[in-house]
Each structure stands twice: as C-alpha cells, then as structure tokens.
Structure 1
Amino acid sequence: DQVEALSMADQVAVLKEGKVQQVGTPTEVYERPANQWVAGFVGSPPISLLACHAEGDRLVGAEGWTLPRPRWATAEDGRALMLGLRAEDLSVEQRGNASLSGELYGLEPLGDRTVVDVRVGTEILKVKARPTVTGTPGERLLVTVDLDRAHLFDAGTGLSLSEAGR
C-alpha cells in the first residue's frame, strides 16, 4: 500500500519486477524520483509526462508547445526528453499569462480539491485546483507550470536528469 508506506516509513524501497529502482525517504522518492517509472508509480494523481526536447533556452514539446528551459536543466540540444509535472506544481487560470495552453478534458471533484484534466495536444495534464473550479469540456484553459519543481527524464533510458543541476 503506497499511502501506508509513504506515511509510516522512514525509508522506502521502490521495486519493479523484483529490481530495486530507488531507496530513500518518502519525501526523497516523491520529490526526486530516480527514474520515470518511479515518478509515475509514486503519487496520486500520477505525474503527467510530456515528450519534448531541449532547444536553446527552451523545451519544445512534441505537441508544439514551448516552455523556458529550467535553469537547472543541462540536457544538450536535441536530446529526447520527458518532462514530468506533478499536479500540485501546476495551476489553472481562466485568463492571463500562462505557460501552456490546453483544453478542459474533465473534472474530478474530490471534496477538498478538484483534479482538472487538461489536454495539451494528445497528452493529459493533471492539475490540483480549488474545489470551486468549473468548466465545460473543450473550454480553453491556461496552465501555469512551476518549472523549479519539474522533472526531466531521458526519453530513452527513463533516468532522471533533474538532479544534475539542482
């Protein structure tokens, strides 16, 4: 039980098919996953992953979006990457200056918050929002990204590139 392990343990080991993927405190495993698989396994809702590559001072998405390259991101230009974004590191805005544009795909009311599913191209971002967020499917939304908390993974190996520059 992931919730029990993360809430009660001083150290956790994350296994995949009998092989240790990462050992650390619950906070370390959640905030600094060793690879893309650990990032997707630990946490609810799961981390959102977007295919992209580095290009100058930007990350360019396979779906045509661009974001500033995080100051800690040292990946060379053209390298195939996966950008990992946790739902709590994103915010939905109805208007204003935002990082990604998408459309409302769905709302998951959970009482104390609503998980907003935003489609960016063919990918779905999960965003934790206030419980009062409403909208209709297809409505355009802007999503602000906290790039200081984002994760980058090598698209081929799945290994984290986030720790190198932080």
Structure 2
Amino acid sequence: MRALIQRVTDAAVRVDGDVIGEIGKGLLILVCAMEGDDAATSKTLATKISKLRIFADDGGKMNKSLVDVGGAALIVSQFTLAADTSRGNRPGFSTAAKPDVGRTLYAQFVNDVSDLGIQTATGSFGADMAVSLTNDGPVTIWIDVLD
C-alpha cells in the first residue's frame, strides 16, 4: 500500500458540497491499495503511520506519534497515488488494485487505524471529493509498504 501523509491542524473532505469527514489536529492520510496488497499490508501501514514520531515534544523536536498527541486521522482513498509517469504525458494507473479490492483494503485500513485507538474520519471511496487542509509545518511524508 502507498500513503501520502500530511500533519495538519485541521482537514475536511466534502462530497457535493457537504462535509462528510473532518478532523482537528492529526494526519490527513491519502491512501492507495496497490496490486498484490492484502490485509497484512494494511495492518503494517496502519501500525507504521501510528508510530511515526512527527509531532513536536515539549522541546519542539519531532519526537511524538499520532497516538502520543491524541491526534485524529482523516483517511481518503486516492488511486492516483499509483500514477506511473515514466512514459508520455498521461499517467498510467495499472499498478493500483482493482476497484473491488481497493474498496475492501481501504475499509480494512480505516479499521486497522481505528483499532489502534486513533479517532478516524473518512472520505467516500470512488467519489469526487474536495479535500481541504491546513498543513502543519509543513510536514508531508510518502510511505510505501511492500509485502
């Protein structure tokens, strides 16, 4: 699985103008299931993200995790993270999981993050979404988990 995480002071996702998910302090997690991913891949990614020490401690050093600071996660499916731009000008997405597998793994990932005690909010798989955020830092990190 592949994720792009952004440390945020707030983030929200809208579908047809209506807010369907929002958080305060925490992480916006854009996630893509890749071909060959499974439930174990999802759990590995959720655990890795929950333990990343990217929040400031009392000394201002990035030394605390999402769990440590009691932050939330807004999790949005984004198959375009699988973009292959190595040839031509039109990205290819053939390495992304098929939609039915992607939907299942997205739901699994949301559950895996929630099971770690993290408050979660979500987008809507396959919907045309508008995502807004205030990137804190800015801190933006790309994560690939290969099983």
- Per the shorter chain, which TM-score range? under 0.3
Q: Work out which structure has the larger RCO, using CA pairs closer than 8 Å and 6 or more positions apart in sequence.
A: 2
Normalized against structure 1, the TM-score is what?
0.25
Larger Rg: 1
